[in-house]
Amino acid sequence: MTLTPLRRRGTALAAALVLTACSGSPEKTSTGKTGAASETRSFKADNGTIEIPTDPQRIVALGSPQTYLALGVKPIAFGEKATELNLAWLPTEAAQVNDSVVEVGDDVDYEKVAGLDPDLIVVHEPEHALAGGSYNEERLQSIAPTVYIELNNDAWKTQVGRLADVLNAVDTFEAGKVEYDALISEIKDEHADLLSSTTFKVLQRWGGDFTPEAGTLNMEYPGSYCTSYAIDAGLDIIPDAPANGDLDLELSMEQLSDTVADADVILYPLEADGSVKPEFAPVLKTNIWKSLPQVKDGRALGIRCNRTMTYASKVPTLESLKEALATLPEAG
């Protein structure tokens, strides 16, 4: 299996940084198969310690397809292929891989999976795998070694690092980390004064019908999809997340003015091409939005927000943030 780094800036960090924390014993044993996938190692997955191929060749990748694609993996099957919306954030070669894979279904056609003769099955999705969902681990394990790596927003760096380890994609993962960390440092250095004295709130809409009279939107707490990168970059995202684990707060349009009143700057979501996220676009047309002090003063910033949780996938978001911060009046 060929793994192609999506983007690079500088030299990739040592793979041992990830492998030391993520893997079990590196000792190799024979599986009875021939070829590159005939040796195995023990891996401590979320579903226990699993003997997996050292160099898997035929991977069935269930769960978040865009995460696998962002890591440069070329599996033989997805549960469901990545959508055009997700592919817009990825390099052209990811779309080609996405087109080439077999779909085995969100509910999994086990006979179809078995017919593909995989040497490894990986599940990167919490609803189906880890909460009594629709994946039958016993059936999957009977086909090929099956590894669960939870898709966890709060711990995405660790979890995606472990996923990269399983898939022999550590070089790609680390190359993205190098680029991500470099941008974080640039933002903190260039906007140190601004970041030390500015509070931010992050707004979002996930879909559904919208009217100015009855529309709702969301405010994201620290640790949500479009705030994790911002925290790393030194932004003071307010308020703190509640103890109940909620990642966002649903608001009516009537609540918007009071909710954002204590924020110096508002961030709202853009698509990969820089256009306003379609679900959020109607908000910008309302009189309530236009009347916000932050909007009037040029302190409402659109940021490209990629929900795919890999370092490389967050790089366009950080680039967008860096450009937007430079336009703030306080930034000169």
pLDDT in tens, the chain (332 residues): 333 333 333 333 333 333 333 444 334 444 444 444 469 999 999 999 999 999 999 999 999 899 999 999 999 999 999 999 899 999 899 999 999 999 999 889 999 999 999 999 999 975 554 445 568 899 999 999 999 998 887 788 999 999 999 999 999 999 999 999 999 999 999 999 999 999 999 999 988 889 888 889 999 999 888 898 999 999 999 999 999 888 899 999 999 999 999 999 999 999 999 999 999 999 999 999 999 999 999 999 999 988 888 999 999 999 999 999 999 985 44
Residue extent(s) of CATH 3.40.50.1980 domains in the chain: 16-174, 191-331
3-state SS, 259-284, equals HCCCCCEEEEEECCCCCECCCCHHHH
Q: How far is CA 115 from CA 27, 31, 57, 143, 147, in A?
A: 30, 19, 15, 9, 19
Q: How far is CA 31 from CA 139, 255, 266, 332, in A?
A: 19, 61, 55, 63
Q: How far is CA 182 from CA 85, 153, 310, 318, in A?
A: 27, 22, 15, 10
Pairing of strands 236-237, 248-252: unpaired
DSSP 107: T
The residue among 330, 223, 275 whose CA lies nearest residue 88 is: 275
* 131 contact partners, CB below 8 Å, separation of at least 6: none
Dihedral, CA atoms, 279, 285, 286, 287, nearest 10 degrees?
A: 160
Q: Around Cβ 25, how many Cβ atoms within 10 Å?
A: 12
Are residues 27 and 129 in contact, defined by beta-carbon separation less than 8 angstroms?
Answer: no
Work out the angle between the directed axes of helices 156-166 and 170-190 (0-180°, nearest 10): 150
> Collapsing DSSP states into helix, strand and coil, what is residue 147?
strand
Among the CATH numbers 3.40.640.10, 1.20.1250.20, 3.40.50.920, 3.40.50.1980, which is that of 16-174?
3.40.50.1980
The CATH-assigned architecture of domain 191-331 is 3-Layer(aba) Sandwich (3.40)
Q: 65 exposed, middle or buried (CB, 10 Å; 0-12, 13-18, 19+)?
A: buried
Structure tokens belonging to residue 249: 């707060």
Is pTM beyond 0.85? Reply is no
Instruction: Quote the pLDDT of residue 134.
Output: 67
Q: How far is CA 163 from CA 88, 215, 281, 311, in A?
A: 22, 38, 35, 13
